[in-house]
């Protein structure tokens, strides 16, 4: 068939299904700035980024685990100190040797998707003893050397060097 040449003439009729009613408009989802799934990895990433950008301080949301990790980082000399100015955050003071950060690297070992545990005789050594393994034991969070001395195994949270 050919299309009609006159503007008012109708062409061949095509049967179509009736249109569906329009779906109600969705509300836009609010942008939420919530806690990440892995709080320890979030803290380590913030410290790594602050060290790379040569910031003096870095703010981290507070939790008991994060406070213990901050205490270990201070005791081992990777940060110069930390404060808890409010109930919701910890402020870590970064430490630098000349222009180089004291924290060369941080690596999350045990993750929510794959937990990594070590027996008391198999606590890992980081860089042949130059770095620190952070281990969560039944007696609290401690370094790998401390856990070995006390004869404890546990979850290997991270390596810091």
**For 116-139, what is each residue's pLDDT tens digit?**
999 999 999 999 989 999 999 999
Instruction: Classify 39 as helix, strand or coil.
Output: helix
**pTM of the prediction?**
0.76
Sign, Cα dihedral of 123, 159, 112, 114: negative
CB atoms within 10 A of CB 93: 14
Q: 11: pLDDT confidence band, cut at 50, 70 and 90? A: low
With cut-offs at 50, 70 and 90, classify the pLDDT of residue 32: low
Domain regions of the chain by residue span: 39-160
- At residue 14 the predicted structure's pLDDT band, cuts being 50, 70 and 90, is confident
Q: Does residue 6 carry a pLDDT above 70?
A: no
Give the span between the Cα atoms of 7 and 14, in whole angstroms.
18
Burial class (CB in 10 A: 0-12, 13-18, 19+), 110: buried
CA 99 centroid distance within chain: 26
Residue 115 banded pLDDT, cuts 50, 70, 90 = very high
pLDDT, tens digit (0-9, with 9 covering 90-100), for 45-71: 999 999 999 999 999 999 999 999 999
| pLDDT, position 7 | 59
Q: Percentage of the chain surpassing pLDDT 90?
A: 76
Class of domain 39-160: alpha beta
Q: Could you report the per-residue pLDDT of 90-112, keeping only the tens digit for each?
A: 999 999 999 999 999 999 999 99
């Amino acid at each position: 068939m050919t299309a009609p040449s006159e503007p008012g003439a109708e062409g061949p009729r095509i049967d179509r299904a009736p249109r569906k009613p329009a779906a109600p408009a969705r509300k836009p989802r609010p942008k939420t700035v919530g806690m990440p799934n892995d709080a320890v990895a979030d803290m380590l990433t913030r410290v790594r980024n602050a060290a790379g950008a040569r910031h003096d301080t870095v703010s981290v949301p507070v939790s008991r685990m994060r406070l213990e990790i901050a205490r270990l980082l201070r005791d081992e000399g990777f940060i110069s100190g930390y404060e808890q100015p409010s109930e919701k955050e910890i402020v870590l003071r970064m430490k630098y040797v000349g222009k180089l950060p004291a924290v060369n690297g941080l690596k999350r070992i045990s993750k929510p998707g794959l937990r990594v545990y070590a027996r008391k005789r198999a606590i890992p050594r980081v860089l042949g003893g130059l770095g620190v393994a952070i281990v969560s034991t039944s007696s609290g969070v401690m370094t790998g050397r401390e856990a070995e001395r006390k004869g404890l195994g546990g979850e290997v949270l991270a390596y810091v060097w």
